[in-house]
Chain A
Amino acid sequence: MSKLNTSSSELDLDRPNIEDYLPSGSIQEPHGTLRLRDLLDISPTLTEAAGAIVDDSFTRCFKSNPPEPWNWNIYLFPLWCLGVVVRYGLLFPLRVLVLTIGWIIFLSCYFPVHFLLKGHDKLRKKLERGLVELICSFFVASWTGVVKYHGPRPSIRPKQIFVANHTSMIDFVVLEQMTAFAVIMQKHPGWVGLLQSTILESLGCIWFNRSESKDREIVARKLREHVHGADNNPLLVFPEGTCVNNHYTVMFKKGAFELGCTVCPIAIKYNKIFVDAFWNSRKQSFTTHLLQLMTSWAVVCDVWYLEPQNLKPGETPIEFAERVRDIISVRAGLKKVPWDGYLKYSRPSPKHRERKQQSFAESVLRRLEER
């Protein structure tokens, strides 16, 4: 099924054959001798273009669907107002307090541990892990996170990598609460970046830069080094590369799947009952997103730790990535779409258009020969 592309320097050769996914049922295989009518009839191509204008599966992945308003009548509206008062006036200050206490405890323990135990690495790392898990628990408590974990907890073993679907940066916090993972993340500006360069650095996190194409090779090397190291923290990767709205999954980047180690899938599904946890980075900053979470009733989600997978004999990394994406999507009830998440930031490669042109050209030439 998939046409194999082994060149590694191109960002967009990362995926199997999109033509197999795109709707082309309306285009019949033309047969018979070529007539003027056949060249003039561009209706299939026009229909595809108009179909994309009217609705397309890529934009759907990043649409945040606002919840149905339920406070529409005279009884429910005062109740809702009361709810707003409780959420903003009572819960929010309480949560900020909890978070502040958490930070005070964390910082007052972390820095002494980090500097005083410089010589005793094993003990220091263990304490740092515990402290990071602690601060993440405080974070989760600050949005009244109700997280249900299913499946065996991750263990610290070499040659394994964890992959999960991505909805928001809080995915990281939710998972980190249970296990101190090392993550591979986009370096962010602002206070998040500050956190990243101080605390997360000590966990062994790896940074990447989406906009640099050569970055991929550097990151791939760092990934390999980390995974093969014996007492590095287990590595967590979000192969989608971007936040998706928790109803769909976009294609997984193959980087995590060609390291020659076991891949442990994790599926995360948020319940939108109180708040939509999707971080639409085009619409709101992370701070706004966090504030929205902290002024809602609760963040409810399920985390499934799924069975570890290995590359099957004869399977390519891309097929392996798709197989794992399938496992995660089925478990979390998400639909799969054949697009690369990075198309949020860049245009698709001309190769897809060329493939369409090639198939049309070949059919014209073939019918010409049938005369």
Chain B
Amino acid sequence: MGNSSSMLTQYDIEEVQEHCSNTFSQQEIVSLYQRFCQLDRNGCGFISAEEFMTVPEFAVNPLSQRLFRMVDGLNFKEFVLFLSAFSSRASLQQKVEFIFKVYDSDGNGKVTFNEMLDILRDLTGQFISEQQREKVLTQVLEEAGYTKDSLLVQADFMKLLSYSSETILDVVNTVPVLDILILGNSVLKMEVEVPVD
């Protein structure tokens, strides 16, 4: 892939960088382009299902089908935007937005019980029965104050996946100091390092 960066001009790099709101540095964009060209073997400008599945590490992931549906047919600019949620410079909101999009398969901005069940099924496969899955999901939903018919929006996800300042203050007043240190590990970790030559 030695000559691929010469096909990407400075204008192109800046355009892509702006499109992903500066979550990647220019060097990282060049590396991602080399990777994109490496995966797009037939050079048609986007990565097909076959080409993605040739990466064994991706193919064995339980959520690979869903992710693939989101990244299918994307050109390089959109590919970088897709990966921007995994950059170290991405905000918590961008990461939560990405997770929400993975759940919201019909894209209507609301996550239903069935959509959550679908993801749980992908993650657990045949090792939990369908009834047990529904039971677990209903139980944890009710404990969090929702019902089986609740429709979750992105704000709900934001609340659940981050520790807001109010909840931390609540905890500080009631929990011994040592236990607070354990809470520090609960921040959403979703980062991937782009190898830069």
Contacts and interface: CB of A to CB of B under 8 A. Distances in A.
Interface of A: 22, 26, 28, 34-59, 63, 66, 282, 339, 343-344, 347-348, 352-354, 356-358, 360-362, 364-365, 368
Interface stretch (B7-15, B54-62, B169-177): B54-62
A66 B116 CA distance: 46
A41 B83 contact: no
A37 B59 contact: no
A348 B56 contact: yes
Nearest to A63: B38
A36 B140 contact: yes
B62 A356 contact: yes
The SS class assigned to the A binding surface is helix
21 contacts: A22-B57, A36-B144, A39-B120, A42-B102, A43-B189, A44-B189, A45-B61, A50-B83, A52-B55, A54-B195, A58-B57, A339-B56, A347-B53, A347-B59, A348-B60, A354-B126, A357-B126, A360-B62, A360-B123, A361-B123, A361-B124
B190 interface: yes
B99 interface: yes
Interface string B137-165: 10111011010000000000100110000
Interface in B97-141: 98-99, 102-103, 116, 119-120, 123-128, 132, 136-137, 139-141
A28 B83 contact: no
A45 B62 CA distance: 8
B99 A42 contact: yes
A49 B63 CA distance: 8
B55 A26 contact: no
A40 B160 contact: yes
Nearest to B98: A46
Contacts, number: 158
A356 B62 CA distance: 7
Interface of B: 1-2, 32, 35, 38-39, 41, 52-64, 67, 71, 83, 86, 95, 98-99, 102-103, 116, 119-120, 123-128, 132, 136-137, 139-141, 143-144, 146, 157, 160-161, 185, 188-195
Nearest 4 A/B pairs, CB to CB:
A357-B125, A52-B57, A361-B127, A361-B124
B190 A43 contact: yes
A57 B144 CA distance: 40
Nearest to B100: A40
Nearest to A18: B60
B161 A51 contact: no
A56 B1 CA distance: 16
Nearest to B41: A282
B38 A49 contact: no
Contact of B60 (A39, A356, A368): A356
A353 B146 contact: no
Given A36-B141, A358-B127, A364-B128, A46 B57 contact: no
Contacts of A52: 55, 57-58, 61
Nearest to B28: A54
Contacts of A59: 38-39, 54-55
A43 to B, nearest CB: 4
Nearest to B140: A36
Contacts of B161: 37, 40-41
A316 B53 CA distance: 31
A148 B197 CA distance: 32
Nearest to A34: B140
A53 B58 contact: yes
B127 A47 contact: no
B136 A55 contact: no
